[in-house]
Amino acid sequence: MTTIAFHYPSQIICTDSFTTTHDCIVTSHAKKYFDVEQGRVFATGNCAEIYHLKKHWNDGEFKPITCEFFMVDKHKKIFFGEVRRGFKYLEPLEQNWAIGSGAKWAIAAMDFGKDAVEALSYACTRDKSTGGALQSFDVKGCALSKRERESV
């Protein structure tokens, strides 16, 4: 799985770079985002579900997969989204939030004043499926932030 955190006050999204299966790390260099016509999508779920989400983003023909994502649209507005029962749902996001296997750890860290990078760093210490290099993105530019580091 993975963890992706959004820190509302700073408008920063941070992702880890692990892809895991069962109890093994498949890669520690995964890219957790892709671009669509409407903006940039940061997705969690298994690899097949994320590829399916990307492939069918525009046509909306989703199998009964389950995945969660953040989307930053061209107006720099961020949305929480999920695919369930074959449909894609989007809701505006106006608070700190995290998705993926380490989400509860990241949300708790942000509740205690940590930013997205610090929250993901903490999630890496608690969730076996979160780790590798952390990448942070500024929602306003949706570009890779200068604040990037290797996790412990």
In tens, the pLDDT along 97-134 reads 999 999 999 999 999 999 999 999 999 999 998 999 99
Question: What residue ranges do the domains of the chain occupy?
Answer: 1-136
| CA gap 132, 127 in Å, rounded | 12
| CA gap 81, 34 in Å, rounded | 14
DSSP class of 24: E
Q: Kindly report the CATH number that applies to the domain delimited by 1-136.
A: 3.60.20.10
Q: Bin 4: left if φ > 0, else alpha if -120 < ψ < 50, else beta.
A: beta
A 10 A CB-CB count for 24 gives 7
**pTM confidence score:** 0.88
Do residues 32 and 16 touch, judged by C-beta distance below 8 A?
yes
